[in-house]
Structure 1
Amino acid sequence: MIHEIDEVLRGVLRGGSLAGTEVEVVFDAPTRDWAARRNTPTVDAYLYDIREEVSRRERGLISVRDERGVVTSRRQPYRWFRLSYLVTAWTRRPEDEHRLLSAVLGTLLRRESLAPEELTGPLAALGVHVPLVAAVPPDRSVADIWSALGGELKPSLELVVTMPFPATPEYPVAPPVTEGAAVRVGDMQGELPDPPLRAHRPPLSGAGR
């Protein structure tokens, strides 16, 4: 499901101020060798960290209902995960990179979430909004990230997408009982009628001897 988030982000980043331009949007690790091969303006959204949003974890089971409101299955609550992207711009001149970052920032600041209709595949089937926030303090040191990549420190944006992930499959439940059930209804005063009297039977011969 992470790859579905990537594709939605690609569309978001290509929109806004970058719509109609030749700027590429990729998700590569910005290593030194990768940067040396770039020959077109590029926005890179490198996914460098995945961790659970523990504060959103829930317990118990959730009932899944059909269009009639009948419970058809039960499932565990979704687990939510923070996807942290390091967003950078790559051109031949620093000034152009700054313009690209400004365009990206302006596009992302207009968004607070990814709507269900924007999502695809199993993620769209969940029918939930996926929170999105840009330019937040990173979970890790940016200098450490660049050091691990073997590249030189450069301006970047931190983009965090908090996505739901199903913990387990849904478990079907038995259909409700609609036949074979008896209902005893009271009279107008709300009292149940007395049960019918049983016919008196004589004792069996020899009983009590």
Structure 2
Amino acid sequence: MIHEVDEALRLLLAEGGIVDGGVDLVFDAPTKDWSARRNAPTVSVFLYDIREDAGRRQSGSAAEYDEAGAVVARRSPPRWFELTYLVTAWTNRPQDEHRLLSQVLRCLAHSDVLPREMLTGSLAELGLPVGLALGSPGPDGPSASDVWSALGGELKAAVELRVSAPLAGERSAVGPPVTEGLVLRAGQERNGSRVAGGPDGAGGVLGPGAAGSAETEDALEPVGPDGPARERPGRRLRYAEATDPGADGFTAERDRPLPPGRRRRGGTVR
């Protein structure tokens, strides 16, 4: 993600005319040795601080869909980070440096977000706004004097640029969608074996694992009184090896025999 922000800033400054007239645009640290080696007007965009914006952290996951509308993956929410850059101009005269910094300010202050056409990679894929702000990273961040002391150079005019960018969450693939129906097998258990039930109460012993097996059946509908059946889209739930439940289905009221030694309420005692 960081290199994608670098590329977007390079495109933004180049579009603003910063690199016109032989000005170099680099992302190097402006150390004393580096400044002694340069031989052309240069704008340095140095990243020196990276902090997570914990207030924007989210939980859960978001689904990704294919062209048919099926879920193909799930992705955790992005985490937001604030990148702070030190932008400096390097020429032989302070007046030229100030002129370059003025161009940089005009270019960066023109928008609060990076233009979408300049986003690449994961930033373009997420489609989220990447914010821009000018100023220091806040009281918790290093001061300008601390940065220059760490670089081994002398304090000079600079623009501090803060970029709020998302880091894409982890993507995990999901299994194929369920398109097959199930068959519920009904029967009785005798001597540890399941017996398939039938209309006459007779049945055969099912093999090992058969009690937990599942089957599918195409959903068919007739065409006309004597016409052939045609398949309807999708599948239907079918109950195998079960007696006909009747017009009321499996929710109809049925007589339930009492356990041995129990009598119905209000009945005579035998």
1:1-150 equivalences under 5 Å are 1-18=1-18, 20-136=20-136, 139-150=141-152
How far is 1:144 from its partner?
Answer: 0.3
Cα gap change, 1:20/1:149 in structure 2, threshold over 3 Å: closer, same or farther? closer
Kept in 2, the 8 Å contact 1:63–1:74? The answer is: yes
Which residue among 221, 236, 240 is the counterpart of 1:181? 236
Task: List 4+ stretches of structure 1 deviating above 4 A.
Answer: none
How far is 1:65 from its partner?
Answer: 2.4
- Matched to 1:180, the amino acid is R
Kept in 1, the 8 Å contact 2:114–2:130? The answer is: yes
Kept in 1, the 8 Å contact 2:73–2:171? The answer is: no
Structure 2 counterpart SS, 1:114: coil
Gaps of 5+ in 1: 184-192, 197-209
Greater per-residue helix proportion: 1
Cα gap change, 1:59/1:137 in structure 2, threshold over 3 Å: closer, same or farther? closer
Cα gap change, 1:113/1:176 in structure 2, threshold over 3 Å: closer, same or farther? farther
Aligned-pair identity (%):
50
Match of 2:170 in 1: 168
Q: Which stretch shifts more, 12-21 or 49-58?
A: 12-21
Cα gap change, 1:123/1:36 in structure 2, threshold over 3 Å: closer, same or farther? same
Equivalent-residue separation in structure 2 for 1:68 and 1:111 (angstroms): 38
Per-residue CA distance 1:112-155 (angstroms, 9 max, x = gap): 11233321223322222211222345532100000000000001
Higher relative contact order (CA 8 A, sep 6+): 1
Q: Which stretch shifts more, 71-80 or 28-37?
A: 71-80
Kept in 2, the 8 Å contact 1:115–1:128? The answer is: no
Structure 2 counterpart SS, 1:45: strand
Q: Which has the larger radius of gyration?
A: 2
Per-residue CA distance 1:23-76 (angstroms, 9 max, x = gap): 111000110111111221111000001111111100111122234443222111
> How many matched pairs?
188
Cα gap change, 1:38/1:150 in structure 2, threshold over 3 Å: closer, same or farther? same
How far is 1:17 from its partner?
Answer: 4.2
Cα gap change, 1:135/1:105 in structure 2, threshold over 3 Å: closer, same or farther? farther
Kept in 2, the 8 Å contact 1:62–1:74? The answer is: yes
How far is 1:6 from its partner?
Answer: 1.0
Kept in 2, the 8 Å contact 1:74–1:173? The answer is: no
1:194 paired to 2:248: yes
Equivalent-residue separation in structure 1 for 2:236 and 2:115 (angstroms): 45
Question: RMSD over aligned Cα, in angstroms?
Answer: 2.3
Kept in 1, the 8 Å contact 2:130–2:163? The answer is: yes
- Matched to 2:159, the amino acid is L
Kept in 1, the 8 Å contact 2:12–2:118? The answer is: no
Equivalent-residue separation in structure 1 for 2:137 and 2:95 (angstroms): 24
TM-score by length of 2: 0.63
Equivalent-residue separation in structure 1 for 2:14 and 2:48 (angstroms): 21
Structure 1 counterpart SS, 2:35: helix
Structure 1 counterpart SS, 2:122: helix
TM-score by length of 1: 0.80
Structure 1 counterpart SS, 2:92: coil
Per-residue CA distance 1:132-183 (angstroms, 9 max, x = gap): 2223455321000000000000011111111111232233243143732349
